[in-house]
Structure 1
């Protein structure tokens, strides 16, 4: 009888220990989960963790939705500067437009090429200051009148704010962030229409004789402003001048500039528009 009571007592103790361990383990997992799904918030150089979303909300998000972006000074949470992807189909400018989340390596290479061009100070990050320097290169040619130069600056500023948010010294765009942002733009009907509205100003800035067409000589000015070698300009122009008339109209220039972003088709001549594709 005594032995039976001892056995019952031991079983009760074991049960309680297992129950306590399960509770502690569950609490530990929840704590770890919260720590894993928190984001750093930095103010004046001091960073702390802040819980961002519930487990239910996180389960519905794509991995890209909880991506963190970092400046070269300190980590900071990505600003909520973009709306959720539009449910409506984007307007297609070509039958080969990129739509899937998994872009081809060719398209990603093209986006890295443009990121490198827009990174004027070559620190590996795009800032609003880079955008300003980029615009100043074209304005410095002196071929835009005062009204056009003012409009160009305003559109560059608006483009930054709509795509990358606040104008501040800690708002940087990394290569991977640029890739994701351009994917988002191509799949958002409104953003897609606005994204490259500054292209006509690039054309007008290098149209030295104001003929309404760009010659190979003027296309070399375009490459110079992009920070590229003149030798590449002649090769690129020979490829993109499909009809062989030795000139590009404004319509052709803008179409080529946009098509570079829109397509994953490696046979398109637009792949030469922004110069040699960056080596990976």
Structure 2
């Protein structure tokens, strides 16, 4: 996989990252019950006030929760909050709110789209990676991963096992390569036994 665009030094120069599989190698999603359960789970994690809609305020709220949890100030706090706002902007476009049904439908359309599979995945992977990599050193630490879970109201005790699945070389850090593999496996597979099914914590009903 090649990441040709990105910020904060991640993927600069078009170096190869991630697994041997490109998004174009994955079969198109069919929208199985299991896959929809994964997407419902991510929606509910993002919906900070649990009102059934995603809004910019939800993303600001989760960002502020992370800032308060870690005790970030100054540039690092601003970077974290802006990362959440960027995620919202990439998802919402010119809309002010998104329902769960809209989210599921649009995620499936996005993931099956040629543009995502050939190009856009690079930007989305790096954008999400950078929101978790709080100190911007190019790796996700165990502490950063736990803070990410906390910000989305995912039990932090679940973080260790999920982190270890991503940390395939066992060095105690998750690289952009390892994160890219977990990202694609979560979003583009429909296998109930996939090891990356709990990238956003335990699946909700």
Q: Name the TM-score, length of structure 1 as normaliser.
A: 0.54
SS in structure 2 of the partner of residue 278 of structure 1? coil
> How far apart in 2 are the matches of 1:94 and 1:272?
23
Of the three residues 90, 93, 96, the one matched with 2:26 is 96
Of the three residues 43, 67, 86, the one matched with 1:155 is 86
List aligned pairs for 1:72-87, cutoff 5 A.
Answer: none
**Residue segments in structure 2 that go unaligned for 5+ positions in a row:** 1-20
Q: CA deviation at 1:250?
A: 3.1
CA pair 152-254 structure 1, distance change in 2 beyond 3 A: same
Aligned to 2:5: none
**Structure 1 position 201 matched with structure 2 position 130:** yes
List aligned pairs for 1:1-280, cutoff 5 A.
Answer: 92-93=22-23, 95-97=25-27, 99-100=28-29, 102-140=30-68, 141=70, 142=72, 145=76, 148-149=79-80, 152=83, 155-162=86-93, 165-167=94-96, 172-191=97-116, 193=120, 194-205=123-134, 207=135, 211-279=137-205
Aligned residues: 178
> How far apart in 1 are the matches of 2:138 and 2:198?
21
Q: CA deviation at 1:178?
A: 1.1
Alpha-carbon displacement from aligned partner over 1:162-181 (angstroms, at most 9, x marks no partner): 3xx323xxxx3222221101
Is residue 132–residue 144 contact of structure 2 (8 Å, CA) maintained in 1?
no
Is residue 128–residue 160 contact of structure 1 (8 Å, CA) maintained in 2?
no
Is residue 216–residue 237 contact of structure 1 (8 Å, CA) maintained in 2?
yes
> How far apart in 2 are the matches of 1:150 and 1:124?
22
> How far apart in 1 are the matches of 2:125 and 2:140?
19
> How far apart in 2 are the matches of 1:186 and 1:203?
21
Q: Which has the higher contact order (CA 8 A, sep 6+)?
A: 2
Q: CA deviation at 1:114?
A: 0.1
Q: Name the TM-score, length of structure 2 as normaliser.
A: 0.71
CA pair 219-131 structure 1, distance change in 2 beyond 3 A: closer
> How far apart in 2 are the matches of 1:197 and 1:250?
8
SS in structure 2 of the partner of residue 221 of structure 1? helix
**Residue segments in structure 1 that go unaligned for 5+ positions in a row:** 1-90
